[in-house]
A and B are shown apart, each in its own frame.
Chain A
Amino acid sequence: MTALTAEIPAPRRIASVMRIHVANPWPTAILPWLVLFGVHGITWSIWALITHYAGDSLEPDAFRYAGGVSWLVIYMMVIAIQAMNAGFRFAMGFSATRRDYYAGTVAFFAAMAVVYALGLGVLAMVERATDGWGLDGSFYAPAYLYDEPYAVIAFHYLALYLLFTAMGALIGALFVRWRAAGLYLYFAGLALAVVAFVWWALDAGDSLVAFFRDNPIEVVMAWTLPLSAALAALGWLVIRRAPTRA
């Protein structure tokens, strides 16, 4: 038996897996922006109505707090879960290894996080340049992002996306490996983690508040990176022994 080499080199195998997720770019790369702009349009209309009727009595930071962007992270987590489930079985059916599949999929999530972070950052800058879309509104850089520079806003979204897609990757991996039982495991683990966190937070009390108060947003967000990496690593441990089922 002659020694074999893979007929497709590893970097191309991983790139091929990334392609799986954008073969139809609609749900991952097009639809989110359309919905985002739709929500933005509606929010702007409401701002305009309020401004019209409130007149001079409007508080200066009335439109500082909008949640119009936050749904995107949840949407991306759902995309991540779907990508892990259907994408995994499809890729296995197309002779991918689990290793290549997971590497390509996580690379795809990271690439999407970069694209969305840069894009939302640019939109936040446009928002600032247009004096909050002419109405002093904060849609892309609400609340604590209001005064931050581009790099901080983009990094904040990047870290947030990585965290949620890593969570999605883990949930998807648990589902692929153990089906419903995997999801029970996840939510039981999550509940325990929340209880443990609250316990610890009550104990830590002031020092926790001080952490959020005294540290700039980029430092707080940087602390999510090791957590995201840990979740992604956990996802690999789960999926590396996952069989493909019908």
Chain B
Amino acid sequence: MTAIIEATDLSRRFGAVRAVDGVTFAVEEGSITGLLGRNGAGKTTLMNLITGQDFASSGTVRVDGENPVENARVLTRTCFIKESQSYPDAYRGRHVLAMAPHFFPRYDAALAAQLVEDFDVPVNRMVKKMSRGQRSALGAIVGIASRAELTLLDEPYAGLDAVARHVFYDRLLQDYAEHPRTIVLSTHLIDEAADLLDHVLVIHQGRLLIDAATEDLRGTAATLVGRAADVEAFVAGREVLGRESIAGIASATVAGLDAQDRARAASSGLEVAPVSLQQLIVHRTGAPVHEEVAS
């Protein structure tokens, strides 16, 4: 595997604000990477830097080994769809789709037409009159159908309902399987997207907090479910990422369980379940430990 994106000590400052602050990472060619973080964490700025739409204050970013800024060699292989994409005032949906093949050499118009049906996008409507979800769907269609070597999707389904999001995941994965490419996906809906992601980058206040394979990250914690007293006894002295309890049944997400711990938990009557990626990340990005009690 080779890296398609390499960022080295990459920073972007806006006055006193460090939107991206000394970030170093690499994205493997052909992977699906989740770029996760809270609002204002710097996800969009980072994607703008990767696609040459913004300029680094310091550090470097390389795509296919080259600086992406004003670089048609890189950019003709790149598709960056963002929620905030603006369209010319006079554009209808079909104008957007008509332009796409001129900018994305691998764009598949037949696939796009199929996706328009799947997402039920009113392509004859003025884009400025579309709902947020319809605009998102339009972007998602271009993002999937462009089949760009490097596809970046920034909150691609903001405003889409659950059915449309399911269609999005489904079609993206299906087309990815037939036409492999590198995908970087930023999202708030971590658990929903978790199964898609090979790799996770978590950015918090401009800094890179987690850079790990999804599998490894999941392995760093586990959720234990059982009788409240048993759970409490087991987790005493351990790092607890989250707790829930309903009647006498409790669950706790615990960091750093090895195979021996897991066996011991099982023998003391606790069920060991895989951890929710969202819970793990919420905890690591500084939110207070969330405790839900319903009794």
Contacts and interface: CB of A to CB of B under 8 A. Distances in A.
Interface of A: 1, 4-8, 10, 12-13, 15-16, 19-21, 23-24, 26-27, 82-83, 86-87, 89-100, 240-241, 243-244, 246
A-B pairs, top 7 by smallest CB distance, nearest first, are A246-B84, A16-B102, A1-B65, A7-B76, A4-B73, A94-B103, A23-B95
Contact of B77 (A7, A86, A92, A240): A7
B210 interface: no
B87 A243 contact: no
Nearest to B88: A86
Contacts of B87: 86, 90
B70 interface: yes
B99 A1 contact: no
B102 A19 contact: yes
Contacts of A99: 70
Contact of A20 (B74, B85, B88): B88
Interface of B: 2, 44, 48, 51-55, 64-66, 70-82, 84-92, 95, 98-100, 102-106, 148
Nearest to B49: A243
A241 B76 contact: no
Which of A5, A12, A20, A93 gathers the greatest number of chain B CB atoms within 10 Å? Answer: A93
A12 B106 CA distance: 15
Contact of B72 (A8, A83, A87, A93): A8
A88 to B, nearest CB: 9
B72 A20 contact: no
A97 B52 CA distance: 8
Contacts of A243: 48, 53-55
Contact of B91 (A6, A10, A23): A23
A24 B90 contact: yes
Contacts of A95: 51, 75-76, 78-80, 103-104, 148
Contacts of A19: 99, 102
A24 B92 contact: yes
Contacts of A24: 88, 90-92, 95
Contacts of B106: 7
A99 B75 CA distance: 12
B92 to A, nearest CB: 7
B64 A1 contact: yes
B99 A8 contact: no
Nearest to A10: B72
A244 B54 contact: yes
Given A23-B95, A23-B99, A97 B72 contact: yes
A49 B76 CA distance: 60
Given A5-B73, A96-B75, 8 more contacts: A4-B73, A16-B99, A24-B90, A89-B85, A92-B53, A95-B78, A95-B104, A97-B52
B65 to A, nearest CB: 4
Contacts of B103: 8, 16, 91, 94-96
A20 B265 CA distance: 62
A26 B53 contact: no
B78 A90 contact: no
Contacts of B2: 1
Given A10-B72, A20-B99, A23-B98, A90 B86 contact: yes
A241 B57 CA distance: 13
18 contacts: A1-B2, A4-B64, A4-B66, A6-B76, A7-B77, A7-B105, A10-B72, A16-B103, A26-B90, A86-B87, A90-B91, A93-B86, A95-B76, A95-B80, A97-B52, A97-B75, A240-B70, A246-B86
A16 B102 CA distance: 6
Contacts of A90: 85-88, 91
Nearest to A240: B70
Nearest to A4: B73
A79 to B, nearest CB: 10
